[in-house]
């Protein structure tokens, strides 16, 4: 899936690397180096997602987002910031940002979050809230809290259920460990040990041991994805 991405970042070198990395990943990237140019580009074109640095010359990042939202543009925005405390995060999201990433970040984290943002936009277009999530031969009934694979019931602990639900809501997308900790446990910090790996391997045992093909894929250096192996190639 290729996205049209606008990067508003005043650090020219950082913006260039980011653009190159995103283009390498098959996306279409435009770059603006200050808030005013960025706002004009964002208002004039239909981007799939914006990456906005908080500290910008001319017009700061949060003002760019607020102005854009005031004109009715709903383009998803990822706020980039060197500041990272809870208050900053809340301010960023209140201003109309959809996600928040603190520098220095891993590139895989950036890509995964951008993809999650654009998919969320698409999912929002579907009518009504789904009570059943499906992927391949996997079915999750959110009301009965039942999970079946190929019609056979799989018993999950509440937290395993929640973990699988998050994966099912983002099918064929890379979810990083940080994103999973945030979405499943609501913790926004990096634990010293990769506890997420152990939870995934437990879920994987229940989900993939008796069935083929394995659905939970490890994406090296990035995280995990719910994906039928053929499509990964």
Partner 1 sequence: MALLSFVYVAAVDFMERQTEETIEAELTGLREQYRDLGIFGLGRIIAQRAAAETEMESIYLLIDDEGWIIAGNLDTWPEAEDLVTNRVRFSIEPSGNLGPRRFLGRTVELDDARLLVARDVEDKLRTQALLVNAIGLGSGLMLVFGVIGGFVMSRWMLSRIETINRTTAQIMDGDLGRRIKVEGSGDEFDALAANLNAMLERIERLMAGMREVTDNIAHDLRTPLSRLRSRLEVALMSDIDPTIARRLLEETVADAEGLIATFNALLSIARAEAGEHRASWERVDLGLLVQDIQELYEPLAEEREIEIRAAADPAVVVMGNRQMLAQALVNLADNAIKYTPVGGRVTLAATHIESAGKRAPLLMVTDTGPGIPADFRAKALERFVRLDPDRSTPGNGLGLSLVNAVAQLHNAALELADNAPGLKVSLVFTPPPPATAAQRDG
Positions in the binding site for partner 1 (CB under 8 A): 84-87, 90, 102, 104, 106, 159, 185, 187-193, 195, 198-199, 201-202, 221
Closest CB to partner 1 among residues 1, 198: 198
Residue labelled with tokens 């239909």: 46
Does residue 136 come out as left (phi exceeding 0), alpha (psi in the -120 to 50 range) or beta? left
| Residue 211 near residue 219, CB atoms below 8 Å | no
Q: Give whichever of 48 and 53 is closer to partner 1, judged by the CB atom.
A: 53
In degrees, rounded to 5, the angle at the alpha carbon of residue 46 between the alpha carbons of residues 102 and 76 is 30
Nearer to partner 1, 201 or 231 (CB): 201
DSSP lists the bridge partners of residue 217 as 225
Least distance to partner 1, CB of residue 34, Å: 27
Q: How far is the CB of 159 from partner 1 (least distance, A)?
A: 6
Contact between 37 and 30 under an 8 Å Cβ cutoff? The reply is no
As measured in angstroms, the least distance from the Cβ of 54 to partner 1 is 16
Q: Please give the Cα distance from 141 to 188 (Å, whole number).
A: 28
Residue whose CB is less far from partner 1, 71 or 192: 192
């Amino acid at each position: 899936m290729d996205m049209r991405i606008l990067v508003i970042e005043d650090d020219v070198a950082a913006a260039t690397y980011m653009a190159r990395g995103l283009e390498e990943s098959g996306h279409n990237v435009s770059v603006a180096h200050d808030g005013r140019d960025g706002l004009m580009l964002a208002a004039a074109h239909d981007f799939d997602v914006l990456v906005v640095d908080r500290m910008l010359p001319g017009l700061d990042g949060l003002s760019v987002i607020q102005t854009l939202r005031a004109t009715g543009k709903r383009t998803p925005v990822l706020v980039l910031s060197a500041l990272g405390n809870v208050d900053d995060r809340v301010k960023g999201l209140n201003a109309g940002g959809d996600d928040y990433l603190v520098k220095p970040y891993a590139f895989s984290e950036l890509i995964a979050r951008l993809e999650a943002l654009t998919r969320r936009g698409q999912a929002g277009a579907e009518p009504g809230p789904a009570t059943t999530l499906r992927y391949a031969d996997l079915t999750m009934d959110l009301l009965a809290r039942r999970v079946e694979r190929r019609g056979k019931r799989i018993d999950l602990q509440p937290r395993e259920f929640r973990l699988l639900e998050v994966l099912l809501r983002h099918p064929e997308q890379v979810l990083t460990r940080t994103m999973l900790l945030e979405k499943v446990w609501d913790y926004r910090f990096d634990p010293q040990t990769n506890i997420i790996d152990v939870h995934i391997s437990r879920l994987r045992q229940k989900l993939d041991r008796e069935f083929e093909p394995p659905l939970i894929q490890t994406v090296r250096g990035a995280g995990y994805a719910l994906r039928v192996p053929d499509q990964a190639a």
